[in-house]
Chains A and B, each alone.
Chain A
């Protein structure tokens, strides 16, 4: 009802095109992530590569998922750590 009144009095300035764009953006995030599980696999491999520079992780227990809710999609990663390198030993900062 409030929406309706706002519309009548022209205070609802959100153009329908912007509504369309936002809805599309979200629906495509949903679509693309559910249609392509390969994305997750590729992401996992890359994550392992990057993180291994800093710490030893349990690769088999690594979990990466999409957490879908109505208004957003979040990337949730659970990465069990086995060992962390001593700061001085992080090769990247040294070289």
Chain B
């Protein structure tokens, strides 16, 4: 019996889809059987981030409406043994699926997979309600910005109201340099405000853009710092204790030079 985890945030564009793709790929490379469910109906994205957009035949609405068997709609990733995608429908809207249908779908998926990871749409309406309906655990993604943290707070309240207690937090797009000079809220600041447990911190990383261009999750690149962070998160999801990354960035040229000539420590 697998575990159903929803990746949510409230605010759009904070990295839910990127996180879902990376964690899913990570868990699959660790040998687990994983299915990623895109519930962002009408704004399908997970397929392109994973590089599977050309293989879609059926989607989640086809499954819940009985147009096809669940098995037929699942896309098997040929690169990673164990990774599967259930794509969102692109031509329908979020009311095409009901929370009850999602519950039944998750229950069915959980029988065959170790991890069912649900990519939630932005917002707190029907799409959100669908995405969390069948979930047993939740991961909230935020960025170190006032608007994103505020929305995360609201989402945490709604998750608790839906009996999804103690969600875990991912802080995405952290820029250590900005934190250092006092222009970005730190990890501690955000944890202090939201009072939830941290499961990972993902730095801002250009490689995320490159990997999305290619349709190959950053977690596969040994040089990507975000990839490293996602590898750690995947391991933490399996229950392993992994120390947090030191996000101190490489020193800039000027500060190195100053040190050499004795202007600063």
Contacts and interface: CB of A to CB of B under 8 A. Distances in A.
Interface of A: 15-18, 20-21, 23-25, 27-28, 31-32, 35-36
For the residues of B in contact with A, the DSSP-based class is: helix
B194 to A, nearest CB: 9
Interface of B: 145-146, 149-150, 153-154, 157, 179, 181-186, 189, 193
Contacts of B153: 28, 31-32
For the residues of A in contact with B, the DSSP-based class is: helix
B234 to A, nearest CB: 30
B255 to A, nearest CB: 19
B154 A27 contact: no
Contacts of B150: 24, 27-28, 31
Contacts of A28: 150, 153, 193
Given A27-B146, A32-B153, A35-B154, A21 B182 contact: no
Contacts, number: 39
B154 A25 contact: no
B182 A18 contact: yes
A17 B146 contact: no
Nearest to B182: A15
A18 B154 CA distance: 21
Contacts of B183: 15-17
16 contacts: A16-B183, A17-B179, A17-B182, A17-B183, A17-B184, A17-B186, A17-B189, A18-B182, A20-B146, A20-B185, A21-B185, A21-B189, A23-B146, A25-B193, A32-B153, A36-B157
